[in-house]
Structure formats: structure tokens, C-alpha cells
Amino acid sequence: MKRKALLATVVGVATATTLALQTPPANAAPPGAAPQQQQTARAGDPASLAAQVADKAISSQLDKLTRGPDEAYSRVAVTPGAADMYYVAYERTYKGLPVVGGDAVVVTDAAGNVRDTAAASGPSPSDVPTRATVSAERATEVARTKLSRVDDTAAPRLVVLAWGEKPRLTWDAMVSGISEGKPSIQHVFVDARTGEIADSYDLVRAGTGNGYYYGQVTIGTSGSGSSYSMTDTSRPGIQCGGQNGSAYTGTDDAWGNASGTNLETACVDALYSVQREWDMLRDWLGRSGINGSGRGFPARVGLADVNAYWNGSYTNFGHSQDNARQATPIDVVAHEFGHAIFQTTPGGAGSGNENGGINEGTGDIFGALTEAYAANPNDPADYLVGEEVDLVGDGPIRNMYNPSALGDPNCYSSSIPSTEVHAAAGPLNHWFYLLAEGNNPGGGKPSSPICSGGPSSVTGVGIQNAGKIYMGALARKTSSWRYTNIRAASVAAAIELFGANSAQCNTTKAAWSAVSVAAASGEPACGTSTSDFSISLSPTSGSAAPGGQATATVGTQTTSGSAQTVSLSASGLPSGTTASFSPSSVTSGSSSTLTLSVGSSTAAGTYSITVTGTGSTTHTATYSLTVSSTPPTRDFSISLSPTSGTVQAGSAATSTVGTATTAGTAQTVNLSASGLPTGATASFNPASVTSGSSSTLTISTAPTTPAGSYTVTVTGTGVTATHTATYALTVQSTSGGRTFTNDTNYSITDFNNTQSSITSTATGTATSPVRISITISHTCAEDLDIWVRGPSGTWYAVDRYGGTTCTQYGTRTFTVPVSQQAAGTWVLDIEDVYAGDTGFLDSWSITV
């Protein structure tokens, strides 16, 4: 266990005291580990194996994981699920910039088989410019227009937005305040070339609820003697208090007075409800905590509004219109924390009304699941939303078994993408009821209509099984999710959980047809053979001159059922190049050798070759072939390390310029730089080198250098050739704001911890997630375990160690959910967990 992992100490409950430990997230073994250590990691930690297998699938561009030549995937999470499944989430970059709408998921099992892949369906960036002509300050000004009152802003980040008809370079600016009289925290994507708003989404998800008071209940709190707190240390991150964000405290472990207007009583209801949701996720769905990694989020009560919401960092609960009750019963609380589950499953919150409707329906589903799990006689499970709190005096606000009874659509139609988000949840809520209970369940449960064209009847599989299927679907979520994607994901989840021949598979499909969501192309059929395989390449790229050859091993695995014959073929070959396989077909579990023979007339260039394996199903992997021109008799190469850096205006960035003799004898290489921002200069020490030697590049910015992202081209001019390398320079404004930087170098040594601190003077609560940018010179990023400590002393994971190959660290940017005040000292801790590679922390910054 990491020394920084949070430990529960004393957990006070009304009936007993318990002790629990938080299990840190699993990570793959460091790539430098000895073979015996790697074997131990694989045998004892299936999550590590899942990470390694998924990384290999990403490298092979398996099935849906194809990417362009300027794109890369980085692993962000490994989440265990039911039935020993693991869901490995990735984010994509384009020329080093994050791609919003470029996320992906690889599903593996505990045996190390790839079971499924999912990727956001947006177009792949191609020739998207990476230099902004609109400043970050202007982007913030534009983003502020989304709100009627702006309370806070965060420094924008430059991203490629892949939502919409074509990818665009945009600033992702976050603004918080009031919109249409309601709290709002919006991500606003401002076109970095035109200054127009390209898209936006609101982290605040408003909702209302059900239930009321639960009488004398046992809740998890903390403390001893005469000092107690409504903080549940057995469920890290869970606490409840007022609008200032602090948990309520007391001199004893007795809370509330059963009054509908008492806020401490409201926290009793809120804690009781979220603790039941936490337990339901663990016991029914195999999920660890609200966020999937053993943590939750705080709750606040006393909101001066007839409402409740999730704002991306915490839940907030108001009161009924007559001010007689607080909106903190089970299905309200579980609904709002359901938004947190949606946000912390792959793909995040997403954009658009249809995606927003799915988000709202997800909240209702987790409310229904938690209500059923709690089985509290004061609030029986009923698939109604908001009937007991009676928020505005009209009874429930949503009906899951018959949404149209309250004016929401029962069935999917082409109007859903333009329907208000709470109403757009109707088809998802209706589907979940049909899946869980059926259309005519009996036993006092209400009947449910079936949409035109649907099956004559649907027989339910039970609410726990329905919850498992939906959780399995959520684990495949991407940021571009729509109803057709949920159907495909839930069918895949039903098959992996219960088998293709199961009633659960058939019912999942029937329930979707019953709400008019049609099957997508390629959806697997229920009742058919479940034999399947996967395919991979090693290596995934290579080069050859005309007349030469490149080879790769084509690996296959039996992922389910029995082994089968897989026929191999290749497409996308450049003119004059042929592909052969030895053997041309294999039994899944065996391998073949791919040989690419480059013809003498094949033009120089880089080509993506698709290797296809055809059996009972078809799977693909991608090989990148670079065909060089006739090899020169004398040549060199040039490289940069790191290839990117972030500085405040007036500061300097450095990089090592490496050269190598690639053909013939060494030669003199003269160095120069272009593409510098206004006021910036570049110097080399020395200014010329003999190929095989290195130089230090220093880019010095002026206090007046405009903030923004710049591509600096370093050119090496030799006797026989000229080569270039690029450096991605980000300049931050010095005009205050909420971004703080430490540029001091700190050594990173084997098996030791390196710490660097930043003092923030920003006011109020830190905007969650905080954005952290780190520049490190280290040849094995996968050996580094990085955490950040907030001013309150709480540690948060930033970048966990693990991987299958060593890569240069360079500059990497992370978003980390926190619950902290902004002002005070933030500490970055870097632990080098393995021997053989050392380096230094060059700089880091945090936006709070």
C-alpha cells in the first residue's frame, strides 16, 4: 500500500465501530522489472495483467482502436467490474494535444483475454492546426458569455475537439457561476482560430428526488470521545455538511432531530442514502466506491433552492417548495451520486441533449437500484422519482415504468436529440424497468407499455441483473454516447456476464426494441456460438527501403468458447508491395509471421496496413509501414528531449538536442530554431555539433510574450542533409489567475521520493478537477508514481506507475478530482519505484 493511501482510523456508527482500509488502484508492473517480478505481478494482480493486455491491444490498433499517424493513446484507468471483467480506459492525443471525443475502452477478463473494444466515434483529426490564433484570455472572455453571472474561471487548455462534423482546434475554458438563475460549471470549447463557441457542456446536473426520513438508522461517521464528524472514513471522500463545504461536527455520535427543516437531519438522510448506494455498488455490481477506485464525493445540504444537483465535485441538496422537507431521500441522493458514477466511467460527461438525457436516466437508474437494495419499509422500491419529497406539490417528477404519464417520451424517436435532458431520459428509464421487471410483472408491480413495433411482451430479469448489465454497458461508455451505443454496449455486457444463450441477452434486446431503439449494424445475436478470438501484432510498425522487407508476428488468442481457424489477410498495401503470412491461417492461440516485401517501385512514405483475421467473427489490427527512399551514403538524425514544456511569460524552457550518425561518417550539424512566439529567443550550447553529439536548447520568453501554445521547429543543417524536430512550447500568462508554477529542478533517483511545493494564493474552493502539468526528464515514465497533496493534507493520485515499455516522460497534463480549498501549499510527490533510470523534475504547474 502506498504510504500516502488514506487509512480509515476510527469509524463511528450508531451501533458499532468498524475499521477499513482503502485499496489503492492496481497498476501494471514497471517495465524495468525483472521477468520473475513481472510473472508475480501477473499471477497475483489480474488488474496489472489487464493493463498489459489492453496496452498491447492499443499498440496493435485492434478493431476499433485505429488512430492516425500523429495520434497516440494514453492509459488513464483500470476499473474492475462484475464477472472478473476489467475495463481499461484511454485518452487520445493529436500531436501532443488532448482529443476531446477521442477516448476508448478495452475490455479484458481475468485470464488476460481482450473481450471487447469501444472508441468514440468522432472523426479522426487530420491536418488540424495546432497553433492558436485566438489567445487564451480571449477564449475565457468568450466562455464567460455562457453565464449570466461569472464567479470563477480556470486557465483554458488547448485541445482538439472531435465532436461535430469535423475536428477543430479549441480552447477548453471552464467557467462557473449562474446560468438562468441556477448554479452552472461549464466547459466551453472556443474555436482557437475563429473565437466562436464550438460546443459546451455543464457539469452541474440538476435533479430532484424521492423518499423522506428513515427513522433511526445506522450511519458511518468518525471521531471519538467528545469530538465527532459526519465524515465516513470507511468510505473515503464521503461526508456531509453545510454550504461552506465542511462536514458537520458534534460532541457525540447522535445526529439530527427527525425534523424536515433540520439540516443535520438532512445529512443523516444523505449519508444513509449514499452509504446504501456505495454498498449496492459493491455487493450487486462489483464496483469499488462511487468513482470505481474506492472513493466518493462530499454532500452538502441547505441549498437555498427547490432543487438538488451534482456539480462535478460534490452533490448539493435543497428543499421542497413549501420548505417543509429537505430533498435528501434515497432516490434523490442516489440520483445525484449517479451523475458522479456517469462522470467517472470512461468517456466522462459528454455533450448534447441525448447524452444529457442518458446522464439523467443513469441517475434515475442508480436511484431505483439503491432504493431496491436498501429495502427500507419507509420508502419501498417503486420506480418513481420524487413522489415522497413532493418537490413542488405535484407528486413524482418522473415515472420509470410509464414516462408518458408525466409527459416524458416512452419511446425513442428522432426528436430525442433536441429534447430537454430530463425528458430525454424517458426511453432509458422505460428500458430499464422493462429489463428489470418486464411489461406485466404482477405481484402488485405496475404494468408497462410497449412501443409500436416492439415485441408482444418482455419478461424481466430482476433489478440486480439489470443493474449489472447497465453497469457493464457504462464501463464501455465513450464521450460520444447515444441511445444506439447503449443498446450495443448493454448487449455486449449481457453476453459477457450471462452468455449469448442466456435469457438476459434476449431480454436486453427485447427491452430495447420495446422502447423503439433499433439494433445497430454488427450487433451480436443471442443464442449463437460464443466462440471468439483476438488478434495482435508485434511490432506494430517498421520500415524498409525499396526492395527490402519488414516482418511482424501476428498473434491470436481464443477469448471465448473453443479454438477456431483464423484466416489471415492484409489490405492497404502501397503499390508494388506484397504481403505474405507463414502460415496463412492459424488455430486461434497460435501465431503467424507477416512479411511485407517492398517493391523497387514503391514510393517513399508511411502506410497504414490493415491485418484481418477471419473466423466465426472478424478482427483487425494495424501495422504502420514506412518506406524510405534509397538509403543515403552519409546522413544523420536529430531529436529533442523533452519535446514539450510549459513556462510562464518571462521564464525559460530547455531541451537536449540529440544527434546521431545514421549513414556514412560523422558530419558537422549547425543548429537553428524557428516558430518562436513574440519576444522569445532561442540559443544553443554549442551552436553546432558533430553528429553523434548533443547540444542544449534554451528558449527564453519575455514578460510580454503572449500566452498560448507554439510549435518551435529546431533545424539541423549538415553537409549532406537537413533534418528537423519540433518542440511544443506552452506560455502561460503572468497576469494572476489561478495557475501557479514551480520551475525549480529536483533530482529523481531510484527508490526515492522527490517533492516539490507550490503556494497558491487563489481564493475559495479549488475548482475540481484541478489541472496539473508536469515536465520531467526521465527515460522510463512507467517507473514513476506521482501524487499531489492539497492544502488540507489529503493526497490524490495523479499518474500511477506501470506499463510494458519504457518511454520518455516529457510534459504531461492531468485533471485530478479534488475536494480542497484553493489557497495554501500544494505538494507534488514523485516516487521512482524501480532501478535503472533516473532523471529530474523540470517544472510543474497547477490550475486551481
pLDDT at 633 over 80: no
| Mean pLDDT, residues 519-535 | 80
**Alpha helix (H) residue ranges in 754-805:** none
Confidence of residue 93 (pLDDT cuts 50, 70, 90): confident
pLDDT above 70 coverage of the chain, percent:
91
C-alpha cell recorded at residue 81: 467490474
Q: How many residues does the chain have?
A: 848
Confidence of residue 43 (pLDDT cuts 50, 70, 90): very low
DSSP per position, 311-332: -SS-EEE-B-TTSSSBS-SHHH
Q: What pLDDT score does 415 carry?
A: 94
Q: Which residue is it, cell 522569445?
A: 680
Bigger pLDDT: 468 or 652?
A: 468
- Residues 374-414 have pLDDT tens digits of 999 888 999 999 887 888 888 898 999 999 999 999 999 99
Rounded alpha-carbon distances, angstroms, from residue 574 to 568, 599, 619: 18, 9, 22
C-alpha cell recorded at residue 180: 438562468
Phi, psi of 136 (to 5 degrees): -60, -40
Question: Which residues neighbour 189 within 8 Å (Cβ) at sequence distance 6 or greater?
Answer: 100, 159, 161, 168, 170, 171, 172, 173, 197, 198, 199, 200
Q: Which of 345, 347, 368, 384 is nearest to 471 (CA)?
A: 345
The pTM for the full model equals 0.63
Rounded alpha-carbon distances, angstroms, from residue 662 to 637, 659, 723: 6, 9, 12
- Residues 542-595 have pLDDT tens digits of 888 887 788 888 988 888 778 899 999 999 999 999 999 989 999 998 889 899
Q: What pLDDT score does 205 carry?
A: 62
Q: What pLDDT score does 207 carry?
A: 36
Distance CA 759, CA 344 (A): 29
Q: Which of 548, 508, 545 is nearest to 524 (CA)?
A: 508
